[in-house]
Chain A
Amino acid sequence: MRKIFDFHGGIHPPENKQQSLGEPIRDAGIPAQLVVPLSQHIGAPSSPIVAVGDRVLKGQVIAEAAGFVSVPQHAPSSGTVAAIEERPIPHPSGFHALCIVIDCDGRDEWLPHRGLENYEGESPSDLLEHIREAGIAGMGGAGFPSAVKLKEKPGASIDTLIINGTECEPYITADDALMREHAAEIVAGAEILRHIVGPKNTLIGVEDNKPEGIAALQAAAEGTGIEIVVFPTKYPSGGEKQLIEILTGRQVPSGGLPADVGVVCQNVGTAVAVYDAIVHGRPLISRITTITGEAVSRPGNYRVLLGSPMQHLLDLAGFDPARNQRLVMGGPMMGFTLTDSAVPVVKTTNCLLAPSAEELPAPPPAQACIRCGLCAEACPASLLPQQLFWFARGKEYDKLEEHNLFDCIECGACSWACPSHIPLVQYYRASKADILQQRRDHEKSEQSRIRFEARQERLAREEAEKEAKRLARKKAAELRAQQQAAESGDDSGAEVDPIQAAIERAKAKKAAQQQAAGGESEQDKLEKAVASTRKRLDTASAKLEQARAEGSDLIDALQSGVDKTRAKLEAAEKALAEHLASQDNPPPASEPAVAKPRSAAEIAIAKAKAARAAEADLSPQEKARKQLDSLRQRLDKSEQRLAQSREAGEDEKIVEALAATVQRLKEKISALESEAEKVESP
């Protein structure tokens, strides 16, 4: 028997799991329409590669991963792409986001696919690529791209692979059902993961309230060396950090990753998805979702195509809207409410909870905190929730950070336990958002200061360089003149000049090309800006119209939005016109250079060619500077992206990942800068 550790705190809310375990997993069938959000994971949204009207087959890639922390999306069934547009997606803030809408043809026709015959012969990195291409993102809740999580971290040696079958949230039984009915696939998936990670121990952790699932797993794992570890039921033992502590006694350092203590964690659902991807070549297009709560008459677990509207599931489960007062995606402790039953099932939808009003009554008004400490007793992170509450109310952000607010996992145990019904977690969420906002503002001003200074410095340096070069040229010319004077009549001297001149000419030409290419893209950009602004104006106007028709009270806001967009459009058009005017009489040198390239690809190729050609002529310093410039551009872009995602309130992990990118770029830049300085001032 493996030694099991306890974690601090925890609660024992009523489990309410039996309701959805009465029947085996049922198939939810093919809805008329599937709505596949481009962002079902943490990281950059995927970019669509199909167009409206395209016929797609089940399993066909319809959107590609955009960057490292991203995954592709696949068509969950065959049909026709009906739209690529913003739709409401399941998100705590009720966001709309870009989705690919597929009208299903009901034929469910697969794209031909094949698994790997012998995955053990494949290298871990190839397998990871397969996992990534199958669109697999953590199915336990957060939805972090699995391939990223499994990728070896330099300097971290993983000795324990944990498959999380804990499912500690009340009501949810999706993983339980999976363990009962698909234990063999879980174990097979775990073996593949083990092959990739190469740990000493592979553990599947399950709470002791799932005896059937445990028995099935134990039978399936017989002889594989994979251990099924059973531990007492306590919420939130399924939290990654808590599970790691239970199974290994180690705590993930604050702000760190499981890999820092030699652990990688994956959910049982993810293990099955990995198995499907590697052995059968099937991408992640469906999942098990629990539908439960007193407002449905046939609760249970369903195998659901991703993108199925929640309403489809509710209909299947016999939903009674009269009894319902809220819809929760996830469990009662950490799930969030949906404001629209049309939102689709996504990779992280483990449960759809439709409780009746009596079942989960609206929270009673909060009373005063009596400092009873029940919250601190319940907190799995060993925080002092009552103190945090006190500071949060007083907006004492320093104190909050000092008391480790950011180690709060928002599990809700404190709120659950609080006899005064204080919505503690709500305070922490709000405070975290405020603090992040503050940091961001500070960072922004700091960054613009740094950028400004760097720019000033760069300009000065460039000026100095130019001056130096001019001097050098002058000197060289003088020298040459002297030489010529000295060796007048000598042929060799005369021969140098034409070559030199030819080189000069070539250089000039290349420079001109470059400029032309640049000019082209400038125009392109402006045109694009005009087009997109026009589009925005159109949608805004349409919305306004609709609001007017409905007599909504948003009219004013929308009107001002429309006005603003119109102003922007005018500005963009003006900029374009000005640019075109300046292009009408371009510098003569650029004429012969490039025939006007038509497609974006041609432009890009031309640009790249020109850039490479130009680079070949550059001195090491110039090259370095060039590199620096491009890095700076990338930095700007990443910063913008970061700011956007922060504004959009995207998941913390994305923001963190982006922030890390920005940080890395900054480091690179400063390294390059210091190197460049060394070169320049010997």
Chain B
Amino acid sequence: MALLRVTSPHAHGPASTQKVMQQVLLATVPGVIALIHFFGFGVLVNIAWAALLALAFESLALKLRGRELGFYLKDCSALVTAVLLGVALPPYSPWWLIAVGMASAILLAKHLYGGLGYNPFNPAMVGYVVLLISFPVQMTTWEAPRGVGEVPGLLDALRACFTPASFDGTTAATPLDVLKQNNSLLLENLWAAEPVFGRWAGIGWEWANIAFLAGGLWLLYRRIFTWHAPLAFLAVLALMAALFYDGGSSASGGSPLFHLLSGATMFGAFFIVTDPVTSAVSVRGRLVYGALAGLLVYLIRVWGNYPDAVAFAVLIMNFAAPFIDHYTQPRTYGHRKPAKRREES
């Protein structure tokens, strides 16, 4: 009888990285459906094309690095990156834009640093920011949502992506843009004057945000991540908005609800800020990480040069994560102080 010699523990929990990634993918479905409903099939084409590219780039990188394809592709992390970037890009983006974004995400941000787990920056956000800086026009042109303009069909979406002729759908400034450009109207009047606004925030955007919130809550319920980072993120964003709301004057930064349901807020809170690889590790660290990211989003939205700010805020916080980790080590059992402070005192 050949007895196996292995060290404890001999039992293993049900969790697996693959399952974690699959659940994250699943949780994006409500948000994606909402986006498709309001902005048309461009969203789906984005995601599908991005996913294809992700698998291709991932395979290429693994091949170049001499890794076993099947084992690493199985972790689904490349697909998650593809979906996240696909959602973040404006619908009806040309194929090459998405390709550049995915290449930056998978090759540059992920594999150049050593692959999954070693990347200090969120790959999808790196892809997004590279594009935003290189192709600002394409990256800030959003299709008008259903109810404001016409929504193109699937064929139009495919054509928009893959034919060289530029796409001529109806575009509209995003609500965050509109608010940013406003300097004369009271918010109330702005709301009445601009068709992009809905009940609480932008038409379409508000529901997409709510759908992403639902997906995020499901992930929380499944214990895929803890509440610390997303809650801190949303709370600080709302707090900042409340502090600088000033009753809706022309200089107002927008109401807390507006900020919570605009742009990439919920998507960012539950799918980007929670990215475990690039965030802080301890519970306290994640609170700090989320809170600072929320603060940055507000600062950039209201006083910065870009209308939405989740990608920048997250990348800056990726930078800060190791420092946060350093200063937020938990107190180990039987110690009076956390390791860091013990050392310094």
Decide if B75 touches A367 in the complex (CB within 8 Å).
yes
* Chain A residues positioned under 8 Å from B6 (CB to CB): 326, 337, 362-363
Taking A368-B118, A371-B117, A402-B343 as given, write out 12 further A-B residue pairs in contact, using a Cβ cutoff of 8 Å, ordered by the A residue number.
Answer: A11-B13, A325-B3, A363-B12, A367-B75, A368-B17, A369-B117, A370-B17, A373-B282, A387-B281, A416-B9, A419-B20, A426-B7
Instruction: Tell whether, in the assembled complex, residue A339 and residue B5 are in contact, meaning their CB atoms are under 8 Å apart.
Output: yes
B184 at the interface (CB under 8 A from A): no
When A368-B118, A370-B277, A419-B16 are in contact, do A384 and B11 touch as well, CB less than 8 Å?
A: no
Which interface residue of B9, B225, B325 has the most chain A CB atoms within 10 A? B9
CA distance A72 to B336 in the complex (A): 39
**Contact sample, A vs B, 19 pairs, CB 8 Å cutoff:** A13-B11, A94-B5, A241-B334, A253-B335, A253-B336, A333-B11, A360-B10, A367-B17, A370-B17, A372-B225, A373-B226, A373-B281, A384-B330, A386-B281, A403-B339, A407-B332, A412-B8, A419-B19, A423-B7
- Of A338, A407, A419, the residue contacting B15 (CB under 8 A) is A419
Interface string of A400-420 (1 = CB under 8 A from B): 001110010010100111111
- Contacting A at CB under 8 A, from B190-241, are 225-226
B3-A335 in contact (CB<8A): no
Is B281's CB under 8 angstroms from A371's CB?
Answer: yes
Asked if B331 lies at the interface with its beta carbon under 8 angstroms from chain A, I say: yes
Asked if A332 contacts B8 (CB within 8 A), the reply is yes
- Is A355 part of the binding interface, using a Cβ–Cβ cutoff of 8 Å? yes
Question: Which residues 287-345 of B sit at the A interface, judged by CB distance below 8 A?
Answer: 325, 329-336, 339, 343
Q: Give chain A's interface secondary structure class.
A: loop
Provide the bound-state CA to CA distance between A530 and B25, in Å.
73
Known contacts A338-B3, A373-B281, A377-B226: does B276 contact A251 (CB below 8 Å)? no
Q: Which of A368-399 contact B (CB under 8 A)?
A: 368-374, 376-377, 380-384, 386-387
Q: Which residue of B lies closest to A328 (CB)?
A: B10
- Which residues of the partner chain B approach A417 to less than 8 Å between Cβ atoms? 13, 15
Interface check B4, CB cutoff 8 A: yes
* A196 / chain B contacts, CB cutoff of 8 Å: none
Q: How far is the CA of A252 from the CA of B335 in the complex (A)?
A: 9
What 4 pairs across the A-B complex have the smallest Cβ distances? Answer: A412-B9, A368-B117, A254-B334, A326-B4
Chain B residue numbers with a CB within 8 Å of A382 are 330-333
- Which A residues touch B16, using CB under 8 A? 419-421
Known: A332-B11, A421-B12. A404 touches B332 (CB 8 A): yes
Partner of B276, one of A324, A367, A373, A426: A373
Chain B residues with CB under 8 Å of A340's CB are 3
What string of 1s and 0s marks CB contacts (under 8 Å) between B249-275 and chain A?
000000000000000000000000000
Report which of B9, B116, B335 forms a contact with A425, defined as CB distance below 8 A: B9
CA distance A83 to B314 in the complex (A): 71
How many residues on the B side are at the interface (Cβ–Cβ under 8 A)?
Answer: 44
Chain B 96-120 per-residue mask, 1 if CB under 8 angstroms from chain A, else 0: 0000000000000000000111100
Contact A419 B17 (CB under 8 A): yes
The residue of chain A having its C-beta at the shortest distance from the C-beta of B74 within the complex is: A367
Write out, one digit per residue, whether chain B residues 1-43 have a CB within 8 A of any chain A CB (1) or not (0). Answer: 1011111111111011101100000000000000000000000
User: Quick check: B339 and A404 within 8 Å, CB to CB?
Assistant: yes
A11 cross-chain contacts in B, Cβ below 8 A: 13
Chain A residues closer than 8 Å to B331, beta-carbon distance:
382
Q: Scoring A residues 262 to 288 as 1 if CB is less than 8 Å from chain B, else 0, what string do you get? A: 000000000000000000000000000
Q: Please name all residues of chain A whose beta carbon is closer than 8 Å to the beta carbon of B336 when the two chains form the complex.
A: 253
Inter-chain contact B13/A407, CB cutoff 8 Å: no
Contacts of A334 in B (CB 8 A): 8-9
Q: A368-B117, A370-B276, A382-B330 are in contact. Are A339 and B281 (CB under 8 A)?
A: no
Does any Cβ of B come within 8 Å of A8's Cβ? yes
The docked-state distance in angstroms from the alpha carbon of A333 to that of B8 is 6
Decide: B343 and A254 in contact? CB cutoff 8 A. Answer: no
Nearest B residue (CB) for A378: B13
Task: Knowing A371-B276, A377-B226, say if A360 contacts B334 (CB, 8 Å).
Answer: no
Query: How many angstroms from the CA of A359 to the CA of B5 in the assembled complex?
Result: 16
> Looking at B116, B117, B283, which has the most chain A CB atoms within 10 Å of its CB?
B117
> Contact: A321 with B281, CB < 8 Å?
no
Please, which residues of chain A bring their CB within 8 A of the CB of B13? 11, 13, 416-418
Chain A residues near B3 (CB, 8 Å)?
324-327, 337-341
> Could you tell me the distance between the alpha carbons of A377 and B226 in the complex, rounded to whole angstroms?
9
With both beta carbons as reference points, the residue of chain B lying nearest to A338 in the complex is identified as B3
State whether B276 touches A253 (Cβ < 8 A): no
B69, chain A: closest CB distance, angstroms: 14
Contacts A326-B3, A336-B7, A403-B329; is A415 near B281 (CB within 8 Å)? Answer: no
